Structure 1
Amino acid sequence: MNKESQKEGFPITALRETNVLLSLHHPNIVRVYEMVTGSSLDKIYMVMEYFDADLKSTISHLKARGEAFGTAEVKCLMLQLLRAVEHLHRRWYVHRDLKTSNLLYNRAGKLAICDFGLARRYEDPIRPYTRLVVTLWYRPPELLLGARTYATEVDMWSVGCIFGELLLGEPLFQGQGEIEQLGKIFSLLGAPTEERWPGWSELSGAKTLKWRGGATSRLAEMFPSTSFSGKPVLSKLGLDLLTGLLTLDPTRRLSAAGALAHAWFDEFPLPKRQDEMPAPPDERAHHR
């Protein structure tokens, strides 16, 4: 570990995560009960709320059994996620690494965001930050194209990716590098234009990008309202919410508060109760 990533022997990311978690209190953000020191000052432990598994392993567990989260269950999970993200953003924090492996899940059907090592407070006016944040498959197109001035909208793109993953049973965009990741995004959502995303061509990465695909979104093909081929279905309202989250232009992307108020959550089937949600895999069984 280099000197820049430590402060007197203590990792900066761990210090940042500790500060953020101790300042946030929400049912869907993992709770820190106390800090414990070990035999020396560089051994510091966080005593945290216990969860059985994470959402990524739960999705894989269901898929291995030929199952998937139903619409009512996806609504339950998305509401919990959005409430936590709305709380985070209202407190002037941006997570910068939302993904299914950073969403804990327990047998009571409760979801909680964890891993705040990349989280930070943001300011108004927004100032430049590093673009090397957010795991590649959940990273928004503006960061892939070199943007450094950003705030909560980067989290909302990740929320859209998680929404799609809950429906598909696998990540939406699985690129092997930044260029391939952009290609997968534009292939599904359509290429950026000045009409769809004003100012995108001024980003540093846009000057070297040559994308020849069309500008039409294929989200409705991937998530039809009815399906006889086994594709995951999504109502028109659900598609509208997903489209709002996966909007190329970050200034037009849905906020957490806007997503929470979306009519999709009020249409049938209604969100499932937490105590009726599928159980996560028993991680302890894998270590016996």
Structure 2
Amino acid sequence: MESVEEDEDEEEEEFDPNTVPFEELTDEQKAKISPDVLKRLEKQWQQSLIDALPVYYAGILGCRSVNEFDCMNKVEEGTFGVVYRAKCKRTEEVVALKRLKMEKEKDGFPITSTREINMLLKAGTHENIVNVREIVVGHNIDKIFLVMEFVEHDLKSLMDTMKKRNKSFEVGHVKTLLQQLLSGLNHMHTLWILHRDLKTSNLLLTHNGVLKIADFGLAREYGDPLEKYTEVVVTLWYRAPELLLGTKLYSTPIDVWSVGCIMAEFIRLKPLWPGSGELDQIRKIFMDLGTPIIDKWPEVVELPLWKQLNIEHFQFNQLRKKFDSEMLDETAWKLLNSMLTYNPEKRMTCEEALKCSWFKEKPLPIPSAEFPTFPAKSEGGKAPPRREPEAPRQGTAMAELDEQTRSLYASLKIPEKYAAQTSGGFALKFDKDRF
């Protein structure tokens, strides 16, 4: 009996940690490994997970150190990472550094981080999607950063500031923002990517008025036929009714519903349906849009939570009462209503929304370059200098005028000094009382 126990002790002493994959080591086995060896094995394992990422990402192998960047300030901390404003020491370009949250999970490399990297890379370069430049690492392999283009504003913070100052977007601004959002999202959908967490805090805006879709932590690919996914996606206030009612079979319409909520928020500068919980969210939607009519959405009776709900009957579609008629005319109302259609199969697509005549009607979308500039929270509340042409120097402008213009000034008897002052380039200015 003693010899058997001695043999077992010898076997335990001879345990070789290199023969067992790190993720399969038990707590008892880890306790027998020295801290230095355990740390080395864990680093090797994490590196193997990173190396297993798709080969089409050029920056993942031999990536640079985060020490090649100077951190300027912390911008925000979200569910899936912390974002810093930083400057590349080599090029002096200002970028956004997003440190991925690498908690030591049983499943290893966090699935949200893997998806975010993969989906951003698959989305490629599109003007209305935040662009990833590379991946850099810290001293330890668990410190991984995404290097992204730096975008000054998130729309949620910007809109909160505007509301506090009793300011609002004009119709032309809303059209521009919505057009850009639909363009970026349509690009994603054509690549079979669902964002699954569209909200104003995940939309960025440059000082040049360009909207960028960001935060791909919940994004994932979808296919045809549809697979079952988790229904716990999309921030509550922007969550489509089919998700609230428990469906696990969903597709691009859930993103379009979120866009409808965001369009309303652009106009009102506050969330459309700020529910306190899932049941309250459902009730708020039903109060404004009416209780779903089975004839128009037959599949609703098959959703898991439909029969469990005891919700009173609400009159059909009272939503328009929440909007100023000047901001939401008939064409705009039809667009909003089409994106907030209950039945996902009848909900408008991004491509259809982009073709809406509302974008071609006056007031037209305001060009991005003509957007007003705002102080940026991410830059410490500083507004950039206006992009205005240099004032012309007196005494030189008349010589640069063409003959026809020279004759016009002469016929109007405008002195040369005034001609010089009025012949400068066009500089657009915005009403300070509005912005």
Q: TM-score normalised by the shorter chain: which range applies?
A: over 0.9
- Residue 250 of structure 1: SS of its match in structure 2? coil
Cα deviations by residue, 1:2-35 (Å, 9 ceiling, x for unpaired): 735x43xx32211110111112121100001111
- Residue 306 of structure 2: SS of its match in structure 1? helix
User: What residue in structure 1 maps to residue 158 of structure 2?
Assistant: 58
2 CA distance for matches of 1:177 and 1:280?
34
In the alignment, is residue 18 of structure 1 matched against residue 117 of structure 2?
Answer: yes
1 CA distance for matches of 2:188 and 2:321?
33
Task: Give the drift of 1:202.
Answer: 1.5
In the alignment, is residue 104 of structure 1 matched against residue 204 of structure 2?
Answer: yes
Q: How many residues of Structure 1 are paired with residues of Structure 2 in the alignment?
A: 278
- Residue 281 of structure 1: SS of its match in structure 2? coil
- Residue 104 of structure 1: SS of its match in structure 2? strand
Structure 2 runs not aligned, ≥5 long:
1-102, 383-435
In the alignment, is residue 46 of structure 1 matched against residue 136 of structure 2?
Answer: no
- Residue 46 of structure 1: SS of its match in structure 2? strand
Call closer, same or farther: CA 1:207–1:2 in 2, change over 3 Å. farther
- Residue 28 of structure 1: SS of its match in structure 2? coil
Cα deviations by residue, 1:215-264 (Å, 9 ceiling, x for unpaired): 410122122524xxxxxx30100000000001111111110001001111
User: What residue in structure 1 maps to residue 105 of structure 2?
Assistant: 3
Correspondences of 1:166-185 after superposition (within 5 Å): 166-185=266-285
User: What residue in structure 1 maps to residue 380 of structure 2?
Assistant: 285
Cα deviations by residue, 1:106-155 (Å, 9 ceiling, x for unpaired): 11001100110100000100111000000000000100001100010100
User: What residue in structure 1 maps to residue 367 of structure 2?
Assistant: 273
Deviates more, 1:242-251 or 1:33-42: 33-42
User: What residue in structure 1 maps to residue 230 of structure 2?
Assistant: 130
User: What residue in structure 1 maps to residue 239 of structure 2?
Assistant: 139
- Residue 328 of structure 2: SS of its match in structure 1? coil
> Would the aligned equivalents of 1:57 and 1:281 in 2 still touch at CA under 8 Å?
no
User: What residue in structure 2 maps to residue 250 of structure 1?
Assistant: 344
User: For residue 20 of structure 1, what is the amino acid of its counterpart?
Assistant: M
2 CA distance for matches of 1:193 and 1:279?
45
User: What residue in structure 2 maps to residue 86 of structure 1?
Assistant: 186
CA-atom RMSD in angstroms: 1.4
User: For residue 225 of structure 2, what is the amino acid of its counterpart?
Assistant: P
- Residue 165 of structure 1: SS of its match in structure 2? helix
Correspondences of 1:168-247 after superposition (within 5 Å): 168-226=268-326, 233-247=327-341
> Would the aligned equivalents of 1:61 and 1:281 in 2 still touch at CA under 8 Å?
no
Greater Rg over alpha carbons, structure: 2
> Would the aligned equivalents of 1:54 and 1:104 in 2 still touch at CA under 8 Å?
yes
Tell me: higher relative CO, structure 1 or 2? Use CA pairs within 8 A at least 6 residues apart: 1
User: What residue in structure 2 maps to residue 161 of structure 1?
Assistant: 261
In the alignment, is residue 261 of structure 1 matched against residue 361 of structure 2?
Answer: no
Structure 1 ranges of 4+ moved more than 6 A? none
